[in-house]
């Protein structure tokens, strides 16, 4: 019997998504959910992580059945080796994504220092000087440009292989640094750890699964405390440190009477310029002359998060809303940089008047319009993109427009600096609230959507479960829009929190779920953990904290999970990585890492059970600190 097609209500918890899935179906447009159905069931070997394509004596499929004749690859690699190598390369891919993003920010700061750009500026001299001092650069009595130049050099050095440890490890508690040294996973250089992972996983190198896994931890640490952290900090220096502000979210932020430009990807370098161009009065006049009421820039995924955090622009949606946003028929252009951009969006855009515009030399899409953006031409290119979007508006088919929701209010902008300022300049009120049990613990819920999970059911469900237990929730990435749409990113959200959390957030006038930014901004959460641990004189693994990625899909999310665990934070994943074909690797991830780095992964698809596991961990850590459960 043919399988019943899934109803939109089974695919997502959101009405705006349901409406657009129906519209897409009616208009013959396919989405990720349709393609997932056709890809299911997936290859079992790949799901278990036991396929290897690392040389052409293969490809090999390693059977996990004990009596199989196929339990070794041609070279003799067994399931443990193959799974560990595949997982290592997966983590290296994620670390490379975040860190190459970080490098792009160094290049922009370098262009500012060299006078090679008129479009970007140092907008936070105080932060630049502060982080320069933090990494050991002399700042007293020096010109800002000299300090910036030295900071650029320091950051570039973090990518190379001349160092024994990264500059921002000064933010890591001493106990943890000693542990990393003892285990041999102190990250030395971002590019070095990534390149070494590729080397180790070449045929005939690291054929000891636990050893390969340790290097994946080192590789991920170079992302979390290196590439990502540089990305976050330099973005703040160039575009401003986020401060709390209000905005709105869901597909209702797309405006029927405006030229709608959606920015998508991760890096603020392009999207900030698009926003600047959209505010140029002559371009606004051009849009009006074309019959629109103005120009509306809204965000998707993490570049949206970057602009939301700093500029308060509205958020149209997260990962699984990206195709659906175009289906509204009211999007003039989707302007992308890189990462998490489904190639299918080119096709969806072609079904409408929508321009799909790429901007990065390293992320071109066949069939897209390409306006390459560099520091020296950024505003000119952004202006041309906005002009193209205005032209697209004149081609919009008004009969196909459907905007399915009213926007929901959200609050954003909780950088660590903003959190400290809300607390009166010191962590003491937060620590006191933790000690008193009003905030029993803190969990970062981060990451993506995955069509294998009903969209945002677990992202929102887990957040609500934790709030009830007086656990403060921090969000980044695509969980942001989920939490926002669920009403958790406004101060009124405290009604869904337990009494203690309600009291603390109510007194501060903040939401019970705080938005800390984009995927690279998970480094803010790591930094915050470091600050709290140092203040208490303990290791990060002693803190009543946890991490979770309930609906993750990407290599980058795995890298985030790995650096969280290696930093001492137990991390929940809603779906397993492709490692289950090796008992050794699975056992190390789920248990063994606890003995090595003081934290481990848990995999649990049921968000209520996941909340219980995180809660149990928090209880254990509280008792360890001599606090009430």
Site for ligand SF4, rule CB under 6 A: 52-55, 57-60, 73-75, 77, 82, 203
Which one of 18, 103, 200, 319 is in contact with ligand MSK (CB under 6 A)?
A: 319
Residue 42's SS3 state is: coil
d(CA 365, CA 130): 39
Is 351 annotated as belonging to a binding site? no
**301 near ligand MSK, rule: CB under 6 A:** yes
Return the structure tokens found at 210: 């636990």
* Among ligand MSK, ligand SF4, none, residue 423 binds (CB under 5-8 Å by kind): none
Q: Is 55 annotated as a binding residue?
A: yes
| CA distance linking residue 1 with residue 260, whole number of Å | 44
For residues 368 and 378, what is the distance between their CA atoms, to the nearest angstrom?
A: 19
| Closest CB to ligand MSK among residues 301, 403 | 301
**Judged by CB under 6 A, does residue 217 bind ligand MSK?**
no
Q: Is 174 left (phi over 0), alpha (psi -120 to 50) or beta?
A: alpha
557 counts as binding ligand MSK under rule CB under 6 A: yes
Q: Pick from 477, 511, 544, 546: which binds ligand MSK (CB under 6 A)?
A: 477
Any binding-site annotation on 301? no
Find which of ligand SF4, ligand MSK, none residue 566 binds, CB within 5 to 8 Å per kind: none
Nearest distance, CB of residue 193 and ligand SF4, angstroms: 21
Peptide bond into 563 cis (omega under 30): no
Beta strands 355-358 and 441-445 are unpaired
227 sits near ligand MSK (criterion: CB under 6 A): no
* Cβ density class 433-472: b for 16+ within 10 Å, e for less: bbeeebbbbbbbbbbbbbbebbbbbbbbbbbbbbbebbbb
Cβ closest to ligand MSK, residue 165 vs residue 358? 358
> Quick check: 268 binds ligand MSK (CB under 6 A)?
no
Q: Are 314 and 253 in contact (CB under 8 A)?
A: yes
52, interface contact from ligand MSK, ligand SF4, none, CB < 5-8 Å by kind: ligand SF4
Q: How far is the CB of 301 from ligand MSK (least distance, A)?
A: 4
263 lies in the binding site for ligand MSK (CB under 6 A): no
Q: Does 554 bind ligand MSK (CB under 6 A)?
A: yes
Binding site partner of 59, from ligand MSK, ligand SF4, none, Cβ cut-off 5-8 A by kind: ligand SF4
Q: How far apart are CA 231 and CA 101, in angstroms?
A: 6
Residue 55 interacts with which of ligand SF4, ligand MSK, none, CB < 5 to 8 Å by class: ligand SF4
Each residue 499-538 as x (binds ligand MSK by CB under 6 A) or -, in order, gives -------------------xx-------------------
Was 478 annotated as part of a binding site? yes
Handedness of CA 211, 213, 214, 216 (dihedral sign): positive
Minimum CB distance to ligand SF4, residue 203 (Å): 4
Q: Which tokens belong to 458? A: 């677990």
Name 218's Cβ contacts closer than 8 Å, sequence gap at least 6: 184, 185, 186, 187, 193, 566
What whole-number distance in Å separates Cα of residue 135 and Cα of residue 158?
Answer: 11
- Both tokens of 220, joined, read 């991920």
Residue 46, marked binder? no
Annotated binding-site residue? 302: yes
Residue from the set 255, 556, 600, 617 that interacts with ligand MSK by CB under 6 A: 556
Which has the closest alpha carbon to 297: 376, 210, 382, 218? 382
Q: Which residue number, 169 or 340, has a Cβ lying nearer to ligand MSK?
A: 340
Dihedral of CA 146/425/475/614: which sign? Answer: positive
**Contact status: 447 vs ligand MSK (CB under 6 A):** yes
Q: Which residues contact 269 (CB under 8 A, 6 or more apart)?
A: 104, 105, 108, 120, 337, 373, 375, 378
Numbered residues of the known binding site: 43, 52, 55, 60, 75, 266, 302, 340, 448, 478, 519
Numbered residues of the known binding site for [Ni-4Fe-4S] cluster: 266, 302, 340, 448, 478, 519
Numbered residues of the known binding site for [4Fe-4S] cluster: 43, 52, 55, 60, 75
Site residues for ligand MSK per CB under 6 A: 266, 301-302, 318-319, 340, 447-448, 477-478, 518-519, 554, 556-557
């Amino acid at each position: 019997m043919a399988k019943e097609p899934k109803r939109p209500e089974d695919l997502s918890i959101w009405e705006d998504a349901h409406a657009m899935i129906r519209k897409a179906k009616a208009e013959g447009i396919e989405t990720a959910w349709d393609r997932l159905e056709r890809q299911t069931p997936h290859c079992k070997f790949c799901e278990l992580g036991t396929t290897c394509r690392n040389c052409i004596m293969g490809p090999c499929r390693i059977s996990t059945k004990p009596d199989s004749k196929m339990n070794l690859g041609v070279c003799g690699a067994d399931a443990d080796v193959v799974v560990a190598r595949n997982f290592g390369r997966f983590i290296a891919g994620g670390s490379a994504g975040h860190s190459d993003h970080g490098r792009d920010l160094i290049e922009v700061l370098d262009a500012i220092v060299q006078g090679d750009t008129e479009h970007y500026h140092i907008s936070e001299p105080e932060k630049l000087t502060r982080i320069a001092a933090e990494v050991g650069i002399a700042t007293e009595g020096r010109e800002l440009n000299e300090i910036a130049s030295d900071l650029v050099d320091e950051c570039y050095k973090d990518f190379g292989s001349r160092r024994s440890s990264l500059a921002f490890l000064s933010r890591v508690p001493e106990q943890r640094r000693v542990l990393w040294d003892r285990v041999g996973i102190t990250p030395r250089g971002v590019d070095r750890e990534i390149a070494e992972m590729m080397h180790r996983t070449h045929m005939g190198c690291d054929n000891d699964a636990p050893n390969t896994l340790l290097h994946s931890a080192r590789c991920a640490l170079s992302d979390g405390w290196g590439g990502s952290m540089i990305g976050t900090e330099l973005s703040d220096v160039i575009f401003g440190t986020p401060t709390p502000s209000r905005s709105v979210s869901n597909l209702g932020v797309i405006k029927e009477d405006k030229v709608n430009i959606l920015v998508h990807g991760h890096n603020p370098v392009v999207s900030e310029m698009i926003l600047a161009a959209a505010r140029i009065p002559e371009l606004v006049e051009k849009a009006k002359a074309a019959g629109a009421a103005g120009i509306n820039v809204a965000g998707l995924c993490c570049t949206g998060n970057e602009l939301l955090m700093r500029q308060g622009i509205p958020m149209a949606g997260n990962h699984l809303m990206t195709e659906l946003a175009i289906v509204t028929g009211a999007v003039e252009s989707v302007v992308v940089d890189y990462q998490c951009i489904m190639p299918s969006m080119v096709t969806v855009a072609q079904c409408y008047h929508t321009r799909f515009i790429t901007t990065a030399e390293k992320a071109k899409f066949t069939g897209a319009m390409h306006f390459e953006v560099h520091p020296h031409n950024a505003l000119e290119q952004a202006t041309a993109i906005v002009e193209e979007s205005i032209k697209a508006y004149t081609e919009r088919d008004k009969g196909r427009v459907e905007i399915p929701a009213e926007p929901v209010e959200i609050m954003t902008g909780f950088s660590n600096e903003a959190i400290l300022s809300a607390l009166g300049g010191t962590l003491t009120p937060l620590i006191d609230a933790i000690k008193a049990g009003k905030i029993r613990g803190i969990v970062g819920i981060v990451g993506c959507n995955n069509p294998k999970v009903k969209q945002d059911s677990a992202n929102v469900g887990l957040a609500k479960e934790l709030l009830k237990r007086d656990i403060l929730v921090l969000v980044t990435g695509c969980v942001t829009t989920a939490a926002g749409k669920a009403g958790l990113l406004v101060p009124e959200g405290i009604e869904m929190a337990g009494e203690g959390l309600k009291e603390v957030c109510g007194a501060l006038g903040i939401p019970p779920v705080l938005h800390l930014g984009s995927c690279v901004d998970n480094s803010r959460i790591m930094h915050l953990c470091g600050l709290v641990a140092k203040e208490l004189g303990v290791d990060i693994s002693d803190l009543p904290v946890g991490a979770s990625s309930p609906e993750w899909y990407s290599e980058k999310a795995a890298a985030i999970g790995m650096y969280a665990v290696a930093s001492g934070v137990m991390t929940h994943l809603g779906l397993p990585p492709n490692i289950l074909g090796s008992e050794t690797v699975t056992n190390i991830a789920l248990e063994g890492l606890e003995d090595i780095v003081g934290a481990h992964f848990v995999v649990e698809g049921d968000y209520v059970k996941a909340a219980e596991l995180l809660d149990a961990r928090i209880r254990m850590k509280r008792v360890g600190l001599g606090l009430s459960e």
